[in-house]
Amino acid sequence: MGWNNLLQADFYGDRHWVLTKPLSYTCQNFMDNTERNLWKGIGVDIVLNKNANTITITVPKGYHTDLASIHRVAWSLISPWDVARGAVLHDMLYGNIRKNKNRLNKQRIKNLRLQADQLFKKGMIDAWPRVPKWKIGTCYNFVRCLGWASIIKAAKFDENDKSKST
């Protein structure tokens, strides 16, 4: 279990990265069929392995990201590279919630957001090199407290929203 590959992306300046390969994460399954189907229904590539009781979630090649939304002042303590893979996965999950928020009720959004935050935390725990526990706790608590704002506001990189290109 854990990350199935390294984060590979091209840099386009101003904290703008584009994945050049898909990024996959496998963890113990903690979702029921309804929850997995809801994620799939809003565009998340999630695969269940019943034999191993795991799920694998993939961020697609071409995904636009700022890595981790950590203010530059804090980089001496927690740099975006410290939590990058988990942050990219988290951003993709939040982005799909944001794109579909008009067709989801508040409770579904709340549940999906909690799962996205839990996957972010699990991803940081499973990262190599290891992320110190205090960084994991700080980042997780930050998204739990303030992540709702990211669901409301427009995405930084609209290139991920294919529905706007029509």
Strands (E), 44-127: 45-49, 54-59, 64-65
pLDDT beyond 80 at 79: no
Phi, psi of 80 (to 5 degrees): -60, -30
pLDDT beyond 90 at 18: yes
Q: Which of 32, 31, 26, 34 is nearest to 52 (CA)?
A: 26
Q: What is the pLDDT of residue 165?
A: 39
* Contact assessment for residue 144 and residue 106, using Cβ atoms and an 8 Å cutoff: no
Q: What is the pLDDT of residue 164?
A: 42
- How large is the average pLDDT for residues 132-151? 91
pTM here? 0.89
Domain ranges across the chain: 2-156
- How large is the average pLDDT for residues 32-42? 93
Q: What is the pLDDT of residue 77?
A: 77
Phi, psi of 116 (to 5 degrees): -60, -45
